[in-house]
Amino acid sequence: MRRLTEHQIVTVELDQQVCIDCQVGNASAPVATLAPIDEIPSTVQELLTPGCLAFMTFEHHGLPVALRGAARAIYGGTAVEFVVIDGVQLQERRRFPRLPIRAPVTVRPAVATGPGADQSAIQTITDNLSLRGAQLARHPGLGNGPWKIELQLPNDLIPVHCGASLVRRTKSHLGIRFIEISDADLIRLAGALADREQLSWP
């Protein structure tokens, strides 16, 4: 997150109208690690433990910036992770960085009717994954979309459900864009990406 610097003061505003003032710890990756200035109340920790939608606000060159993202408590509530979902800050294209996560995916046509609809599901796997899309290993029956997909995230028993459309095609892979994804699934996806991103931090 190029506009943030270490030790900078930011405010995390939860959708529940709760504000947490924090100091930036690590902002060298798409995930910012923040240290709350004051202890987080237990009721707020309950919101942050699974993750929730939030805004991170701060000043950059004297101008206010607000980024929408997913925030969650880590390290027993002594720190907060923030993953940007939307915001003008992310000019560091690719806007939503892709991470090498291999996750099982069930793909179905967006419109599947008739007695064979249940048999139209195709199993494949992601080669990489971001908040807005994925690269899938090609399968002869996938077609050109659009699709409905079930994405099985690492260490998560419940799949992410969303729509998907074709962005590009290579000999071995399909690039897809996620559409019609719920906020709850977006938060879970952001958490999985944050977990993977931590593995690459020094």
- Helix and strand numbers, DSSP H then E, in the chain: 2, 12
Per the structure, the count of domains in the chain is: 2
> Is 1 inside any structural domain?
no
Residues 6 or more apart from 13 whose CB is under 8 A from it?
19, 20, 54, 55, 56, 57
Tell me: do 187 and 111 sit in the same domain. Answer: yes
Tell me: do 74 and 114 sit in the same domain. Answer: no
More confident residue, 196 or 69: 69
**How far is Cα 105 from Cα 129, in angstroms, rounded to an integer?**
11
Give the mean pLDDT of 78-89. Answer: 76
> Is 3 inside any structural domain?
no
The predicted structure's pLDDT at residue 201: 46
192 neighbors 58 (Cβ within 8 angstroms)? no
Give the mean pLDDT of 162-177. Answer: 90
CATH of residue 178's domain is: 2.40.10.220
Tell me: do 73 and 14 sit in the same domain. Answer: yes
The predicted structure's pLDDT at residue 160: 95
Tell me: do 72 and 120 sit in the same domain. Answer: no
**How far is Cα 134 from Cα 126, in angstroms, rounded to an integer?**
6
**How far is Cα 130 from Cα 200, in angstroms, rounded to an integer?**
15
Q: pLDDT digits over 54-77, tens only?
A: 889 888 887 788 888 899 998 888
**How far is Cα 198 from Cα 6, in angstroms, rounded to an integer?**
17
**How far is Cα 49 from Cα 178, in angstroms, rounded to an integer?**
25
- Is the overall model pTM greater than 0.85, yes or no? no
The predicted structure's pLDDT at residue 92: 36
Give the mean pLDDT of 155-161. Answer: 91
Tell me: do 125 and 161 sit in the same domain. Answer: yes
pLDDT band at residue 115, thresholds of 50, 70 and 90? low
> Is 118 inside any structural domain?
yes
Give the mean pLDDT of 130-137. Answer: 90
Domain extent, residue 35, equals 9-86
Is 118's pLDDT higher than 80? Answer: no
Is 10's pLDDT higher than 90? Answer: yes
> Is 178 inside any structural domain?
yes
The predicted structure's pLDDT at residue 59: 86
The predicted structure's pLDDT at residue 149: 95
Give the mean pLDDT of 32-59. Answer: 88
